[in-house]
């Protein structure tokens, strides 16, 4: 008799637009995704490409993705041998987990945060130690001492900066302090330093990055994406950025050509036009300020955010669930958190375009916090 195998943990999205349109008897076009932290505005491909776009689709992309790597190196202030292109940030997270974790390994996750760190770690058979962030009164800051203590036995430490879903940013100097703490305890224990992964999917919105810290802490891996500020979530392009020595074992797990030719060409062009992403960031920052102000004025409780999303606290998990259902009935899709999640009494809302945010505020007026 074979032992039953537990299903691997998987990522769960909110339902699809078509499903919600059918469930709530709404026109498909009226559904607005406030749940996935993508750009409300499709990228201006004419501006990005600036001319003919004719990627050779009959061929595989160049195995070294040289043009894409060069554009990313320029954008991130790194050398080309420090850049690994991946199919979105999520593929980078998966490859890092594959390279660093196995049955019996330990991974540390600062929670609440993006669910994928726990998922990719557990999929590799690792034990996950969750280290809670400080509370909202302390700006959801990292508990550096608790993280350093947990990291003593860990192979991988996962951090998200700015953090999804709290919207808070740990100042890069404090990440530097954590890295110094890890370094000093590794000397004492004579063991290899843990890999520290800082997922900077939303870095463009905060204008801060820990990228320079890889020079001091060689086991730092920074993950970036074009899905957010560059408005290219559908292209699926991301990067792991680290020293060549740290990247080498991660590269080994990448399937050949996981970033398609069209996506690589689009991403290369987008990275060469940073002013377009900067324009998106500025528009979102304006809307974020306005959304926070308007939601607060009707009695909702938004936390400060440096990302393209806002976390909102309700009086109870039931109130959050009730608000989610009321929004869904109007075709506005929030991100909810499961019962038992530390943020079960919260919703996360993506900052969208002015007219879409108008609809949200209008709907929110009738919904108790």
Query: Which positions lie near ligand PLP, rule CB under 6 A?
Result: 37, 88-90, 114, 160, 164, 199, 201, 225, 227, 233, 238
Residue 14 or 143 with smaller CB distance to ligand PLP:
14
In the complex, least distance from residue 252 CB atom to ligand PLP, rounded to whole angstroms: 20
- Residue 295's closest CA among 316, 281, 314, 282? 314
In the complex, least distance from residue 162 CB atom to ligand PLP, rounded to whole angstroms: 9
Residue 211 or 367 with smaller CB distance to ligand PLP:
211
Contacts for 73-78 with beta carbons within 8 Å, 24 or more apart?
Answer: 74/271, 74/272, 75/271, 75/274, 76/209, 76/211, 76/222, 76/224, 76/239, 76/241, 77/211, 77/212, 78/211, 78/241
Residue 11 or 53 with smaller CB distance to ligand PLP:
11
In the complex, least distance from residue 89 CB atom to ligand PLP, rounded to whole angstroms: 3
Sign of CA dihedral 118, 105, 133, 175: negative
In the complex, least distance from residue 199 CB atom to ligand PLP, rounded to whole angstroms: 5
Residue 109 or 178 with smaller CB distance to ligand PLP:
109
Q: What is d(CA 110, CA 100) in angstroms, rounded to the nearest whole number?
A: 18
In the complex, least distance from residue 128 CB atom to ligand PLP, rounded to whole angstroms: 16
Residue 82 or 199 with smaller CB distance to ligand PLP:
199
In the complex, least distance from residue 164 CB atom to ligand PLP, rounded to whole angstroms: 4
Residue 165 or 367 with smaller CB distance to ligand PLP:
165
Residue 69 contacts residue 268 (beta carbons within 8 Å): no
Q: What is d(CA 223, CA 277) in angstroms, rounded to the nearest whole number?
A: 17
Residue 293 contacts residue 92 (beta carbons within 8 Å): no
Q: How many CB atoms lie within 10 A of CB 104?
A: 9
What residue number has its CB nearest to ligand PLP?
A: 88
């Amino acid at each position: 008799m074979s032992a039953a195998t537990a299903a691997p943990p998987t990522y769960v999205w909110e339902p699809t637009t078509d499903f919600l349109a059918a469930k709530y008897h709404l026109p498909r076009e009226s559904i607005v995704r406030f749940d996935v932290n993508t750009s409300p505005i499709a990228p201006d491909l004419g501006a990005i490409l600036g001319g003919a776009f004719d990627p050779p689709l009959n061929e595989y992309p160049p195995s070294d993705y040289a043009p894409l790597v060069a554009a990313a190196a320029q954008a991130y202030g790194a050398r080309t041998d420090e850049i690994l292109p991946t199919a979105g940030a999520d593929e980078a997270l998966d490859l890092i987990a594959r390279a660093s974790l196995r049955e019996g390994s330990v991974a540390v996750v600062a929670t609440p945060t993006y669910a994928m760190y726990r998922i990719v770690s557990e999929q590799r058979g690792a034990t996950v130690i969750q280290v809670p962030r400080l509370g909202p009164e302390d700006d959801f800051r990292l508990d550096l001492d608790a993280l350093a203590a947990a990291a003593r036995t860990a192979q991988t430490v996962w951090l998200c900066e700015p953090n999804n879903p709290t919207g808070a940013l740990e100042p890069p100097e404090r990440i530097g302090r954590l890295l110094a703490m890890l370094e000093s305890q590794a000397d004492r224990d004579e063991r290899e330093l843990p890999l520290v992964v800082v997922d900077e999917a939303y870095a463009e919105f905060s204008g801060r990055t820990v990228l320079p810290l890889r020079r001091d802490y060689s086991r730092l891996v920074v993950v970036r994406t074009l899905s957010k500020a560059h408005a290219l979530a559908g292209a699926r392009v991301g990067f792991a950025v680290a020293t060549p020595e740290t990247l080498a074992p991660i590269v080994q797990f990448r399937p050949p050509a996981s970033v398609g030719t069209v996506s690589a060409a689009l991403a290369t062009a987008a990275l060469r036009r940073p002013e377009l992403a900067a324009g998106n960031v500025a528009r979102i920052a304006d809307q974020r300020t306005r959304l926070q102000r308007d939601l607060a004025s009707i009695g909702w409780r938004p936390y400060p955010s440096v990302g393209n999303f806002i976390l909102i606290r309700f009086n109870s998990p039931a109130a959050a669930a009730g608000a989610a259902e009321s929004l869904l009935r109007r075709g506005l899709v929030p991100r909810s958190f499961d019962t038992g999640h530390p943020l079960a009494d919260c919703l996360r809302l993506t900052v969208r375009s002015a007219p879409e945010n108008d609809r949200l505020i209008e709907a929110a007026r009738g919904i108790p916090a």
